[in-house]
Amino acid sequence: MISEIFHALARRWYVLVAGALLTLGMAYGAVQATPPEHTARALVLLLPSESSVGPGGNPFLALSGLEQPAGILVAYFSSASARQVITDQAPNAEYEVAIDDSTRGPVIAVSVTDSSPEETLSTLNYIVDQVPIELARLQQQVDAPLAATIGSMPLTVDGEAERDLSGTIRLAIAAVVVGLVLTGVVAFALDGLILRRRLRRSSRSEPGAAVETTEEPLLHSATQEPLTHSATPVPARARREN
């Protein structure tokens, strides 16, 4: 079966050539339709209040218990109102604000994806700057004392956006796979159609079997019996004597 498929494809090589060109065009169109994206990332650490650290204390030793305020801040940035504000600043950007899984502590990870590196970094810096503002606003709404106010500090902020080609590569691979499969199916189906037509033509051109015929005796139109003649004619002299 596999050898038959390869033979059929080899016979219809021109279909394969046309399909390969079409597949290249589809892959090129997929690349043009999905330009590469750019991503950037930042980490923001929440800091304990002055009252919880105490005079001469080390804030890094008092980070326990700040995971809950970090979760509340993440929930705010995931809300519809916060997303609308960021969308107004960067309509084409996609962002995510979440608790960083790589660290055990109140570390907020900010990831931004956009079409250009400049817009990606601009949106990233905007969200990082909004973190302390929104954190202070949320604490003001609950009348938190100034000495008990939680702060924040950026740990890392990308200075260059990284080019992401994963979406473009996936779409290009999908276009190539679809193009090659369609090319093989069309070539195999066309080969079968042509072979069937040739078979029908060859069967029509062969001479048919000879038809045997038998001759029937000539019949009278009135009696439908065979015509018969007298075997011995009557002489004229005998007729006169009678």
pLDDT at 207: 55
pLDDT at 62: 84
Domain boundaries, the chain: 2-32+168-195, 37-164
Tell me the backbone φ, ψ of residue 225, rounded to 5 degrees.
-125, 160
* CATH class held by domain 37-164: alpha beta
pLDDT at 208: 53
At 108 the three-state DSSP class reads: strand
- Which among 84, 73, 85 is positioned nearest to 131, based on CA atoms? 73
At 33 the three-state DSSP class reads: helix
The residue whose two tokens read 């069967």 is 203
Contact 153, 70 (CB under 8 A): no
Other beta carbons less than 10 A from residue 62's beta carbon: 15
Q: H-helix or E-strand containing 38?
A: strand 37-47
- Which among 166, 128, 140 is positioned nearest to 38, based on CA atoms? 166
| Strands of 78-229, DSSP E | 94-99, 107-114, 151-157, 162-164
pLDDT tens per residue, range 175-221: 899 988 998 888 888 888 888 888 888 887 765 544 444 444 444 44
pLDDT at 109: 95
User: Which long-range contacts link 28-35 to residues 24+ away (Cβ below 8 Å)?
Assistant: 29/175, 30/168, 30/171, 30/172, 30/174, 30/175, 31/168, 31/171, 31/172, 33/171, 34/167, 34/168, 34/171, 35/115, 35/168
pLDDT along the chain (242 residues), means of 10: 75 84 86 82 93 84 88 92 90 91 88 90 94 93 88 93 82 88 86 84 65 44 46 50 44
CA angle 176, 181, 183 (to 5 degrees): 95
